[in-house]
Amino acid sequence: MSDAIVDAVATELLARETERRDGGRLTEQHAGLDLDTAYVVQRELIARKLAAGERVVGVKLGLTSRAKQQRMGIDSPLTAVITDAMAVDVGTPLETSELIHPRVEPEIVFVMGQRLAGPGVTAASAMAAVHSVHAGLEVIDSRYADFSFALPDVVADNASSARFVVSPDGFDPAGLDLALEAAVLRVDGEVVDTATGAAVQGHPAQALALAANALAERGEAIEAGMLVLTGGLTDAVFVTPGGEVSVEFTTLGSVTLPIA
């Protein structure tokens, strides 16, 4: 793995984000950008955000549902990092002018009660470490043109992360059947998609276990208090200023994101 590639790719992706422009796949410019190198780029990119004052608040999974995998043409899940700068409070509009080509997807979000470290984490042990379960919407914004990327490209790009909103209403995981928890996604009040929690790796706890085990391979863990975005249940929708996107769950409640 070359330090020069890590530096060049991290610098280019951060420049695209700051300058609000997309561009071509970086795997086509850097033959050495394989999956391991891409995770090093992701770590470097986050280190630069932290140096600029951001704080890590959790992790996200990407491409955990078939709907997302089919749309993106990539069938393996990935992990990324979320920071405080990405958090949008409930009721605050999404400022699309700050982003390139944002899309919104519904997610089931965990707040961790205990540290979770792989290897060997199962869905059951993962769920035992969860403090509360929340409804969420993630705003993704790829730094690649047309959201077109190979797996190392999107890993390096911190899984297209941009913004997220999480309902403050938390539910005890013990009282829920998250495989059967249903989500209705609406744009401007019209139903555009539906799914249940089973869309995410069979059960969102399975996705959480996957994240803990994958992070362990890179010497990392999910810390108590962190948020975990378990991955879009449905395909993501494009948004237009003046509208709104909402997700309504069976028991987790609703989240509405006004689009500015």
Name the site residues for Mg ion (rule: CB under 5 A).
Answer: 138, 232
- Binding residue for ligand OOG, selected from 105, 153, 181, 220, defined by CB under 6 A: 105
Rounded to whole angstroms, the Cα distance separating 112 from 33 reads 32
208 binds, among ligand OOG, Mg ion, none (CB under 5 to 8 A by kind): none
DSSP H or E run through 187? strand 182-187
Q: Which is nearer to Mg ion, 30 or 249 (CB)?
A: 249
Residue 220 interacting entry, from Mg ion, ligand OOG, none, C-beta within 5 to 8 Å by type: none
Instruction: Give me the least distance between CB of 78 and ligand OOG, in Å please.
Output: 8
Q: Among 27, 160, 206, 234, which residue interacts with ligand OOG (rule: CB under 6 A)?
A: 160
Residue 147 contact, options Mg ion, ligand OOG, none, Cβ 5-8 Å cut-off depending on partner type: ligand OOG
45 binds, among ligand OOG, Mg ion, none (CB under 5 to 8 A by kind): none
Of positions 6, 81, 159, 210, contacts ligand OOG by CB under 6 A: 159
Phi, psi of 88 (to 5 degrees): -115, 130
Q: Which residues contact 167 (CB under 8 A, 6 or more apart)?
A: 90, 134, 135, 136, 252, 253, 254, 255
Using rule CB under 6 A, residue 231 touches ligand OOG? yes
Q: Binding to ligand OOG by residue 142, rule CB under 6 A?
A: yes
